[in-house]
Every structure is written in structure tokens, then in C-alpha cells.
Structure 1
Amino acid sequence: MLSLICALLIHLSHVSASIEDPSISPTPPMGFNNWARFECALNESLFTATADAMVSKGLLAAGYNRINIDDCWFSNYRAENGSLQWNSTLFPNGIIWLGQYLHERGFKIGIYEDAGNMTCGGYPGSQGHEHEDAATFVSWGIDYLKLDGCNVVIQKGRTNEEQFKALYSLWHEIFSNMTSPLVFSQSAPAYFSPDFQTVQNNTDWYTVMDWIPTTGELARHSDDIKVYGTNGHWEPGGHWDSIMANYGFEVRLARYQKCGYYNDPDFLIVDFPDLTIEEKKSHFALWASFSAPLIISSYIPDLTQEEVAYLTNKEIIAVDQDALCLQATLVSQDGNWDVLTKDLANGDRLLTVLNRGEETSSTKISLERVGLDPDEIYTAKDLWTGSTKTVQGTISLRNIISHATAIFRLSSSSLASTPTGMIFNTFSMKCLTGTPHSVGFSNCTGTDSQVWQVSTSGLISPLSAQMCLAEEDGYLSLTDCNISSQYQQWNYTISGNLINRASGVCVTESRGTTRCGYEKDNQVFALPSGVELSDDTRII
């Protein structure tokens, strides 16, 4: 086995990480995974039928070029030499044969393992076998590994977070020493994600998110999307709520994403009967707006023409695969409408609007809220229909069905935008709210006092007042903007801290500003897309 490892894993002088070498996955992966739809009800013919259907239905041509096998593909036991084995009843021709079948048709093949000593389904895990398992996957022609986190054994003297970091970092080191590294899909953050009924703080979640972009190309950050049912037997209810729950986790983490690393809110569940077609399309449009992985978990041969049509929408896929790799962020939330935006590589501005209400409704959105010049004339392209219209000042959205999502590209000759949107605490989900009389955090209602613009010089202003956020003696206030005043200039860090340049203190929910702590819940904030991250980390 050692000779096989040496032959397949060639040491390189420079260890590459996902965000250090975005060429491993320059855009978010697209493809298929069996788990949410079938769980352990898998076999060889499922994957060959899926591949053939993805070719015939145009999904491969649209970019869905990965077919990933999830848990339960294993034999119950390792071979005598310690290597993994596939279940020969489920895969009579073997994983190597299946990989060749997929490669010949233009796909890449992915596989599942677990960082612990046993997978979530009870099969052999990789803990203690990392090098030999990596060598096995390479010898089988595997292109992609999803590494779960069930049954991790915590070594004495380590915290849970430290143990996960050690195991995922080891896999990263192994992959980095390959001539052709596998795409590494990580699950570590999901095992530390917030459950507000039992978890009192998010510190460990944030800590894992701080290092996960350096160890792989994508990471599951929260709960699994709700599955179809037990091993393929339909169990209705809760699927839209599950989509919205993962969406709610995703919007907190935009600061971590850049080309080479992608936040993963989990699978696209296309053929689940309790979802309306508008909910399915919203799921796709929101994930694409995030530049999230687009991994379908459905029975591909039976997808309808309508489902295939939205999944292969070239304009929306282009948003997902945009060269800037930005994750759209929230402009506003008011209980009925979620508005998101981001820049696109050609200078266009994305506008995505979700109707979270239970009725068909109409709304208007000022272009200033999207970070655009209200006096400029823009062309708004509806990415569902391809139709265009000219807009100035505001854009009107009419008769948006409950749980539907409108999605537009806004373009003009000026190609200029300003980072604009909510500033909210990612634990409490309360919004920074600024008026000339008070600055603090309150429930998000979508008012202009909760929509902030951030200048390149670090000034932060609400749309409700021509004034700037300032810090003085531990208090936040709005004062007349003065670009030379460092008390009005702010740095935003990967840790989510908003730090005053003059005093070095952090914005702190309910306390104005205080000394910066380590990943403290009341000091971690989400800011609008496009705000430049600072290296300033004044942790005391």
C-alpha cells in the first residue's frame, strides 16, 4: 500500500489551498448527488440511468457535469490490506467501471467518505486511513470527495473544533500534494452550525468557517436539506421550510466566499411533490444568486420539461458561474420581501427578489437600494423570460406569486455601483438601524434606516439620512460626514468584526462599541456584497 501511495501522491513544493489555487474549482460545482432523493437506496443502474438522462435532457450541456455517489456504497468491511471496497451487489461492475462509464460520457465522478471512524450510514470511515483512502480514490479515477463528519473520535487534549480542523487539514494536505487534486467538499461547519434551542453561541461555527475556505473548494455550513423520505419512500411536508432554513444560514456567511471556495447550502430538490413550481424555481434562482454549488438530488429520468427548462436557464446559470464568484447579500428583509444584490463580472448588477408572503403581491424597489445611481437610466433584463425594460429611479415588480423569485440583470453605460444593504448581527439576526436621533439594533423591517451604503474610504451611511456612522466614547451615532475623520471610518474583517479605525473598538450589539473579542456573538455582522475585507484583527 505504501508504494501505491508514493506512486499516486507526488509532493509539490507549494501546498495549494482552494482560495490560493482557484483553478481547482474556478466556479461552483454543478451536477447530481443521490442522497436527498434516494439516501441509501442506490445502485449502479441509478447512476448510469442518471448519466444517460442528463445527456439526453441537456443537463450535461448546461454545465451539470458531476455525478456524485453519497453514503452506503461501501462493503461493510475493509479488505485484508486495509483498503476500502465497494458493495459488489450494488455495484456489480465496480466503481472503477462506473467511473469509466461516466468519464466516457463527459462527466466527472465523485464519492463519499467520512472524517470519523464510521460513516453516518455505519460503513468504514477514514479516520486513521486518510492516506490509503486517498490513494484508493485516485486509483479508482475519482474526481471529487464529499467528506462527512459523523463519528469523529476526539483525541485527548483537543476540542471538537480542533479535532475537525486536524482531520480536514490532513485531507487538504494530502490533496495538495497530488498532481491533480480532487475537488474537496467539506462538511465540518455543519457539525457546529447554530441550533438556537440548544446552542448558546456561534463561536465554534464561526471558528470553523474561518479556516474552512483554506482547506477545500466548498463546505456544507448547516443542516441537510430535508430528504424525500426514507430510502426513496415519499414523506410529504417541510421541504420549503427546509430550503428557507438553509437559505437563512447562507445569508450569514457571504464574507467567506471568493473564487475557489463556495458556501454550500445543499442540494436542489427538484421533483419533490409538495413544492410548487414557483418554489422550485426560487430554490434554483436563490442558489444561483449565491453562486452556490448547483447539485441536483432528484430522479433525473422523470424530470418534467418544465423542471428541465428552469434548471437549464442559461442566463441564471451564468449568474451562478459568474467570474467574480460573489455571493449575493441582503439589501432588505421586511417579512414579505427579501431583496438581494451583487455585482457581476461584466459590470452588471444583479437584483433578486423573493416573495416570502402567502399571497401574490407587487412591490417597487428604489435603484439606490441596490447600490445604483437613481438618476441613471438602466436596462433591466428579466432572467426568467429574457425580456428587457428601461428603468430609472425605481423598478416595479408586479404580481409576484407567493414564494416566487424575480431575478434581473441591471446594466448601463456607467457600470458603477456602491455596496448597499443590510448590516445585521448573524446571531440575533437584528439589523443596524440609524436615525439622526439614535443608532442601534432592532428587528429587520426593510426601512431606509436599515439600508446602508459603504464607501471605499470606509464611511457607512444609512439611506434615511445624509450622515455617517461614527464612534465616540463607546457609543454609536450619526454625524455629518467627514472623510478625514477616522472616527467615521470602519474596517470589516473575515471574522465579521466591524472595527473603528480611530479607536480600534468593535461594534457590539446592545453595547455600542467595546473591545474586540474572539468570535463573540454580539460582534459578528454581515455587510453588503462588495465591501472590501480588511486584515485588521484587533483581538484582545
Structure 2
Amino acid sequence: MRYILFFLPILLLCNRGISQHKGAIHISSARFCTGDDPGWKGPSFDDSSWKNIIPGKVWQSQGYPDYHGFAWYRVHFILPSSMKNNAHWKDSLRIFLANVNDVDETFLNGVKIGQTGSLPEDAGGYVSKWPYTRSYHLPVAHPSIRWDKENVLAIRVYDGGGTGGIFMGSPFIDILERTDGLTIRTNSDSIRYEPATAAMPVKIINRFNTVIKGTFAYTIHDISSGKTYTTNSINLQLSPFGEKQVWVNTPHKDGIRCNYRFTETGTGLQITDTLSLPYLLTPPTPDAPRINNAPVLGVRPGHPLLFRIAATGKAPLTYHATGLPEGVVLDTGTGILTGIISLKGNYTIQLTVNNKYGAARQSFLVKAGSLLSLTPPMGWNSWNCWGLSVSEEKVKSSAQALLDKGLAGHGWSYINIDDGWQAAQRTTSGKLLPNNKFPDIKGLGDWLHTHGLKFGIYSSPGTITCGGYLGSLGYEEQDAALYAQWGVDYLKYDWCSYDQVVLNDTTTAAYKKPFFVMQQALRRHNRDIVYNLCQYGMKQVWQWGPSTDAQSWRTTEDIEDTWQSLYDIGFHQHALYPWAGPGKWNDPDMMIVGQVGWGESLHPTRLTPDEQYTHVSLWCLLSAPLLIGCDISKLDAFTLNLLTNDEVLAVDQDTLGKQARRIIYTPQQQVWVKELADGSKAIGIFNMDTKYRDIAISWKALGLPAAQRVRNLWTQKDLELIKEGYKARIPPHGVLLLKTK
């Protein structure tokens, strides 16, 4: 019966990337070489001249910044028989490789033991499976295993674009145990919040076809004060594939942690971890109307205009406008502006939104000229949740949820389909078609437009995309015409396989060329399509991106839902502030809050609540495009709280368009300051430490006058007149976001 377990999904430890078992072999280093040779899989191959690399981090961050294609890892290790002799279950050797970007073929002592994804030479060609966790299991008597001798694990990796290699976890080798079938997680969408308390459900899930008995013990404590609130222990019996739910009552504030331990009765093996409990800072949206969109819009004369006024308040709302330019109309029931402005110029419109609780007004400037995206785009992208499994149904579900949960009223407007929508072949005339997951992609775009939302699409300047779908090389004119026909409003153009075009030509001109080609194709159509260059910051794209008519450009490799990734990407944007401004935005990648998964099973982001407040605050200070990456239909109260704070979002959407500058930098703290259009400053004070810190700043050090009126943007509360400087106690990896007045 136990051998059936080899084929079951092992989710808990794979997702967290750790081993719970004594004697596990942790793979902290490997020999590494780019290129490809079948002889590299064998145990006798001499790899002593290869460089060392850390598995668990993409190779682009370890000295191979622009490399894509094949590479190999080789790990030498002694496999002691004591590992199986000391185990409780003695039948399965587990080789956990975390995630691999994009495809792996794995060998133990020259014998192939697993493959995830399809390689370019496989039948059907390259298919990326980069979000899938690699965890290969072998019977302990498998002939490839050499007990008490040296073993060689060889991993052949193919990276089709973006980041490459073994990443997002710490690889290890151990023996599978009964507790490896357990997943323990919070059910965040069911947390009940009160002003002072919260009730959180914790689920213990059995993924194995066997009964598991044990004790679940937990302690609730405050890491800020050191106070312990609750200690409890519960005996549980989990049926095969069953689950139990435990309600945990906690204070509703920052700094609350739940330390838990599950002890399996038969073996004494334990699972331990700490949960950081979410807390809400954003006040409830008032009943009276508010207009939340940026007060400026860029359009091109003669092109269709579509804009949904972002307003909140108790329904029903009615919308009014005076000073509309000729050719533009307002739907007073939905707040959607449509039409065409024929002549270049600046047009000031007075907007009013009413309900029975009052009225909100805004002076709204439409600039009909050459610039689009006068403030950073805000919306949703399918990649971080659905990956290549994206479908029309899933896109429409998230779009409907964006409307139903009120996000459109806070300025979120783009719905962008990422990789995975294209058919396998073009027509004989070269026309690109959607695959069967998108039976009516134009109809989807029309539906989005009917609701005042913008429609985004994805392609690559190479022959194939990062996920192995058709790219645009040689078909740029046809594809641009197709996008215009479908009513596309946003194009993400991802470098991916264009490596195979430039080959050894590393000149900046060669890297610019494909983006100029698509620019010219897009410009032949009377449609405003926001153009995003996704090429990971190569050749200092922020310096030449505007010359390709792009409105934003990726400055980094792909982001992951970890603090290390957030730190490496977000906090290393400090030198790029000179190149941000209206119509030109540095893009540090999509947001990693909520339920993410990249097409595998969705999981709550691994960022703590404090790290998520930091994430949103930093992206707004950076004037970054804000693209939600989670499944909006499963949006919990905490994530909704993060995404609907209009005063925080206004920092991102400020019309001056300046990116914050890093003023103070130490290993323990950073302070970033952003100039705003009204003459005030937004100030982000970040605790980079893993414990609470009292952080003091002086106004003088920030270049500010000696006395400041300050507002806390997350709580939306004014503070008293503060002289000299400010001192605050900030959570680990947390933030205080202020605005001077």
C-alpha cells in the first residue's frame, strides 16, 4: 500500500521548500555549466572545472544575467543507509528540487528519474512547466541509488526566457514520512475581523490515503510586547484525504504570531511553523461619494477614448460632466466616458458624482497629444495566478470580481491576458488565432469595454513565447492589425526566444530592434495601445525605452512571492528615478499579494502581512505600474484592504510622476521620499530587520523644514504638528507610509 504514495502530490514541504526530517541532505551548492552535452548526466564525468552555484536561486542572479537555453547542475553526495534505517517509513527516497525555470530532465547516477515539461527536441516541442514543484520519489531499492557511496544528481535545465534554473526553495534529499502528507494553512478568506479582535480558521489537511492521528498545539503571542495571549492543544484524527479546521482567536493588531506544532502520534514526528496574522489598516470606504482616479488622462487625437470614472460610495451613484470635448459622451449611470477627440489639445472637464449622501467633484484634464499613460497603469494580469492555464473563463471571472468587489471604483482598470492564449499554428495566411481556451477573445474584449475596463494581451518578438506559444517574429504587422481589430488596449511584449535571433550580437541596437519593429506596426492603427517592454532590464532599457514609443519597461527578472525576491527587486530600483515620469514608467514586475500559483495550485502569498504593506507602499513610491497578480475572485478581506486604500494609491497615481529617491540607507532601515504634485512629500520608512525596531528620522536629513504636519496614509489619520523629526516602532520588514502636508 505504501508504494501508492510515490504517485501522490506532496504539497506541504514542496511548497515551503524545507525538510522536516533528521539526516536530510540539504543541497546548498552544485557544479554548474551552461550549454548541453548528453555525457554530462553520467556519474563518471569530470566536472571539477565547472563553477559552483547555489540551487534555489535563479542563475541570472549568480553571474549569468543574460543567459537563456540549456544548462546543467551536478550534485555529488554520499547517501548513508542510516537515512532509511532510521526512518519510520522506509520505502521512498525523495529528491526535492524546488521549482525549475522552465523544464528539467533529472538523472541519478546516469539514470533518468524524472522530467517536468517538454524540451525543444521532444515530440510537440518546448512546453514550459516552470511553476510546478519538482519532487521526485524512488523506491529505496531502486537500482540507481548507491547507498553508502557517492551519488551524482545531474539536472538538465532548459530556460526558454526570463529567469532560469532551480529557484524558489531549498533543494534536499530525504526519506518520505507520514507527516509529509500534511498541509497546515490559514483560510484567509474566512477570517472574521472585529475592531479589537479577529477569529482565524486554521486548516489541517491530510493529502495521503491513510489515517493520521496527532496533536495540534498552538500559541498566540505578540512579538512587539512579548505578551502571550493563548496556548491550546487539540487531539485530531484525520481520515484519508480528510481535513480538520480549528478556529483561533487573536487580537486584531500588528505583531501577532501563531506558533504551531503538529505531533504525529505513531512516529513522534513534528511539523512546526509560525503564522503571521493579517491585520487591517485601511478604513472602511465611506457612504458619501469619492472620485479616486488620477485627475489626468492621455489620449491620441483621432483614436477611440475609453475611461471609467473611478468612484466609490453607497450605490446608486450618478455621474455628471461639464466641458466635455466634442465627440466625447458620458454614460451618467456607469460613469464611462467614450468617444473620439479629433483635435490635439488640453481639455478640462468638471466631473461630479452624486448619491443620497452627498457629491464629489474633480477637475479632470484630458491631454490629447502624443503621450499615453500619464500615470502608471493599474489593473490585473493573469500570469501570477493562472500561468499557462489561463482561459477566457478565468479572465472573465477575475474581471467580474474586480467589478463586484469594488476595485474598479478605486482605479483598477486593465485586464491583461498573459502567455498561453495563442493557438499552436497560424493560418495559411499567417493569421494568429486564439486557442480553444479562448473561444471568443474579441467578444471578451468587447465585454470588458462595455464595463469600462481595458483589454491587455501578450506576445514575444521571438518565434515563441516564454511558455512555448507562438510569438510575433516576422508577423508583427499582422499581429498589430489583429490587436487593433480586437480592441486591445495594452501589449506586454516579452523578450523570451529573441535570444535565438540576436545570438552573439550583444549591441544595444540589436536589443532595441524588435521593439522598434512592433512599435512601427502598432502605430499604423488608430488605437491607443499601451506598450510594455518585458526584457528584464537588459541594456539599460529605461534609458531608451521611450524611443520605442513604450510607456513602461521591465527593469528586473521575474518576481517571486518571497521577501528575498521583493527585496532584490523592489529595493534595488533606487538609481532609476531619473528615467521615470508621465508616459514612461520603470516596471519592477507584477504584484505578489493574495492567492498566487503561476498555474499550479494557488497558495496564499508567502509574504507576511507586514511585507505586503511594504510591497504596496514601495511600488507606489516607485511610481510603478500596479498589476494585481492574484485570483481576484478569491480576494480575502486583508488583500482587498491592501488594494483599496485610495490615499496610498494616490501616491502611485500622482500627476507629477516622479519616482521616490532613497535618502537613508542602512542594513536595518531605509527611507524613501517622493515629491508630489501638490508640493507635499510621501515618505516611506522601512524596517529591513527581522525584529521590531524603533526608527527615528530627522526632517533635516530628508531636506524638509523643521516642523511638519504629517498624515499616516495607511490609517488615513492626521498626526499633530511634528517638530525636528519623527520616531516610530515599525514591524519586521514593515513600513510607515507618511505624507507631509
Q: Work out whether the TM-score is over 0.5.
A: yes
1:180 and 2:527 are equivalent in the alignment:
yes
1:262–1:293 contact (8 Å) kept in structure 2: yes
Structure 1 stretches of 4+ with a deviation exceeding 6 A read none
Residue 65 of structure 1 and its aligned partner are, at CA, apart by 0.3
Letter in 1 for 2:522: F
For 2:443, what is the secondary structure of its paired residue?
helix
619, 634, 638: which one pairs with 1:302? 634
Q: Identity of aligned pairs, percent?
A: 32
1:146–1:187 contact (8 Å) kept in structure 2: yes
2:462–2:501 contact (8 Å) kept in structure 1: no
Letter in 2 for 1:378: Q
Q: How does 1:24-423 map to 2 (within 5 A)?
A: 24-88=372-436, 90-92=437-439, 94-152=440-498, 153-154=500-501, 158-159=505-506, 161-188=508-535, 190=536, 192=538, 205-206=539-540, 208-215=541-548, 216-226=550-560, 239-271=562-594, 272-374=604-706, 377-411=707-741
- 1-structure distance, mates of 2:407, 2:370: 24
Residue 173 of structure 1 and its aligned partner are, at CA, apart by 2.4
For 2:497, what is the secondary structure of its paired residue?
coil
**Pair 1:395–1:101, CA change in 2 (3 A):** same
Letter in 1 for 2:493: L
Residue 121 of structure 1 and its aligned partner are, at CA, apart by 1.1
Residue 214 of structure 1 and its aligned partner are, at CA, apart by 2.5
Residue 174 of structure 1 and its aligned partner are, at CA, apart by 2.6
Residue 392 of structure 1 and its aligned partner are, at CA, apart by 4.2
Describe the superposition over 1:180-229 as per-residue Cα deviations: whole angstroms up to 9, x where unpaired.
Answer: 231001113x162xxxxxxxxxxxx33x3321122200001111112xxx
1:341–1:352 contact (8 Å) kept in structure 2: yes
1:154–1:163 contact (8 Å) kept in structure 2: no
1:221–1:249 contact (8 Å) kept in structure 2: no
Gaps of 5+ in 1: 1-7, 193-204, 227-237, 412-540
Residue 336 of structure 1 and its aligned partner are, at CA, apart by 0.9
Aligned pairs, how many? 368
**Pair 1:402–1:156, CA change in 2 (3 A):** closer
Q: How does 1:488-507 map to 2 (within 5 A)?
A: none
Describe the superposition over 1:224-247 as per-residue Cα deviations: whole angstroms up to 9, x where unpaired.
Answer: 112xxxxxxxxxxx6121111111
Describe the superposition over 1:359-384 as per-residue Cα deviations: whole angstroms up to 9, x where unpaired.
Answer: 1111111111222122xx32100001
Letter in 2 for 1:293: P
Residue 403 of structure 1 and its aligned partner are, at CA, apart by 1.1
- 1-structure distance, mates of 2:461, 2:727: 47
Residue 398 of structure 1 and its aligned partner are, at CA, apart by 2.2
For 1:154, what is the secondary structure of its paired residue?
helix
Letter in 1 for 2:546: P
For 2:564, what is the secondary structure of its paired residue?
helix
For 2:638, what is the secondary structure of its paired residue?
helix
TM-score with structure 1 setting the length: 0.65
- 1-structure distance, mates of 2:454, 2:528: 13
Letter in 2 for 1:220: R
**Pair 1:77–1:343, CA change in 2 (3 A):** same
- 2-structure distance, mates of 1:62, 1:22: 26
- 1-structure distance, mates of 2:475, 2:523: 17
2:588–2:624 contact (8 Å) kept in structure 1: yes
Describe the superposition over 1:10-61 as per-residue Cα deviations: whole angstroms up to 9, x where unpaired.
Answer: xx9x9xxxx9966411110000001122211211111111011111111111
Residue 134 of structure 1 and its aligned partner are, at CA, apart by 0.2
**Pair 1:44–1:250, CA change in 2 (3 A):** same
Letter in 2 for 1:223: E
- 1-structure distance, mates of 2:384, 2:426: 26
- 2-structure distance, mates of 1:120, 1:327: 30
Residue 176 of structure 1 and its aligned partner are, at CA, apart by 3.2
Residue 250 of structure 1 and its aligned partner are, at CA, apart by 1.8
1:363–1:398 contact (8 Å) kept in structure 2: yes
Q: Which has the higher strand share?
A: 2
Larger Rg: 2
- 2-structure distance, mates of 1:290, 1:253: 9
Residue 349 of structure 1 and its aligned partner are, at CA, apart by 1.1
Question: Which residue of structure 2 aligns with residue 532 of structure 1?
Answer: none
- 1-structure distance, mates of 2:477, 2:406: 37
Letter in 2 for 1:333: Y
Describe the superposition over 1:411-468 as per-residue Cα deviations: whole angstroms up to 9, x where unpaired.
Answer: 2xxxxxxxxxxxxxxxxxxxxxxxxxxxxxxxxxxxxxxxxxxxxxxxxxxxxxxxxx
Residue 177 of structure 1 and its aligned partner are, at CA, apart by 3.7
Letter in 2 for 1:218: S
- 2-structure distance, mates of 1:20, 1:165: 28
Describe the superposition over 1:311-344 as per-residue Cα deviations: whole angstroms up to 9, x where unpaired.
Answer: 1101011110000111001001111111000210
Residue 303 of structure 1 and its aligned partner are, at CA, apart by 1.2
Describe the superposition over 1:145-201 as per-residue Cα deviations: whole angstroms up to 9, x where unpaired.
Answer: 00000111436995353222111112222333433231001113x162xxxxxxxxx
Question: Which residue of structure 2 aligns with residue 447 of structure 1?
Answer: none
RMSD: 2.3
**Pair 1:22–1:222, CA change in 2 (3 A):** farther
Question: Which residue of structure 2 aligns with residue 531 of structure 1?
Answer: none
**Pair 1:167–1:21, CA change in 2 (3 A):** farther
Question: Which residue of structure 1 aligns with residue 71 of structure 2?
Answer: none
- 2-structure distance, mates of 1:43, 1:154: 30
1:36–1:225 contact (8 Å) kept in structure 2: no
For 1:403, what is the secondary structure of its paired residue?
coil
For 2:726, what is the secondary structure of its paired residue?
strand
260-269 or 146-155: which moved more?
Answer: 146-155
Describe the superposition over 1:67-92 as per-residue Cα deviations: whole angstroms up to 9, x where unpaired.
Answer: 0000011101111110111012x112
Letter in 2 for 1:352: G
TM-score with structure 2 setting the length: 0.48
2:462–2:471 contact (8 Å) kept in structure 1: yes
- 1-structure distance, mates of 2:413, 2:608: 26
